[in-house]
Homo-oligomer: A and B are copies of this chain.
Amino acid sequence: MKNIIVDAMGGDLAPQQIVYGALDAVNEDKDVKVTLVGKKDAIDGLLAEQKYSGDRIFVIDAQDVITNDESPTMAIKLKKESSLVKAFEALMSDGDAFVSCGATGAVLVGAFMKVGRIKGVSRPALAPMLPTLTGGRVILCDCGANVDCKPVHLAHFAIMASAYATAMLGVEKPRVGLLNNGVEEHKGSELAKEAYEKLKTLDGINFVGNCEARDILSGDFDVVVADGFNGNIALKSTEGAAGAVVKLILDGVNNGGLRAKLGALLLKPVLKSVKKTMDYNAYGGACFLGVNKVVVKSHGASKRKSVAASILQAKELADRNICEDIKRGIINYNSTAQEE
């Protein structure tokens, strides 16, 4: 049995969709226990309304909430009664993994301060999963936790995200690509060139070379590493462009008369499935790799399905002991790097 601590007040649709997601998760997996942290009255009300009578959902009361508008560091330091801070405390005392749909900055800072880095990890990194054209997933790491990086950080990202790919996607030797502005070996910024040299010789890492941004979703990579600034740009450009195409189609249908409307109706299952495939939030959240426990950040707009997916994902990662794998990989790398 794994105890997943969930920040019940984080996200645009909290606490309702968070509570529903927790219910779905415990119904789906008999080995999941969920501890919801947030306004107890509201949470209890939602559980009662859903007629929950099981013994695998617990509630810890927290009356305060951290919002997107606050300074993450100040909020974590000062808001001791917030659902996020109390959830991290519950995680450290009795939890196996953690899920929040709240403010990304606060979740990352909170994890950093309250959960702490795995020994030897210089920079924990945020790693979402994107769909690929071949029906698989690709992990993009880092996507915004570290805007200015050194080559060694990208080496750590490769190690951590490879462990993540193995645990989550079941890939034994994840193919790791380096986000770059060309495929040739000597392409790129100073950082990219130096990172390439490090990744090329990285023990236990299946580095397959540079990945141009247009190939992230190709299915040729299980992991793509980048500094947090570029990873963020790649992630959001992808999101923006996919959204733009969908919006243009909808606009075209709306302005296209009966023929277009009939066409859209007939094509609805296809368009729905494409939308579902491209919606990376549906697969759960982004994992914050490199801290001492499993921390999953789900999208702010997460609904019950996505909340449940994130809880089950967090449980899976705890089951598979991903933090231990990362620790081993980093210790191994750091010892070799020092011998160089």
Contact = CB atoms under 8 A, between A and B. Distances in A.
Interface of A: 133, 144, 147-148, 179, 181, 188-190, 192, 212-218, 226, 228-230, 232-249, 252-253, 256, 259-260, 262-271, 273-274, 277-278
A274 B248 contact: yes
A256 B272 CA distance: 12
Given A133-B247, A147-B189, A256-B269, A216 B242 contact: no
A260 B267 contact: yes
A247 B219 CA distance: 13
The CB with the most chain B CB atoms within 10 A, among A179, A189, A273, is that of A189
Contacts of A215: 240
Nearest to A253: B270
A236 B212 contact: yes
Given A234-B237, A242-B244, 8 more contacts: A192-B229, A213-B233, A213-B234, A233-B233, A233-B234, A237-B241, A248-B274, A256-B267
A330 to B, nearest CB: 24
A256 to B, nearest CB: 5
A190 B240 contact: no
Contact of A237 (B189, B213, B248): B213
A104 B174 CA distance: 32
* Cβ-closest 3 pairs across A and B: A263-B266, A263-B267, A252-B270
A252 to B, nearest CB: 3
Contacts of A248: 133, 273-274, 277-278
A179 B234 CA distance: 11
Give the residue among A218, A233, A246 with the most B Cβ atoms within 10 A: A233
Contact of A238 (B144, B237, B273): B237
A308 B300 CA distance: 46
Contact of A229 (B181, B273, B277): B181
Contacts of A232: 181, 213
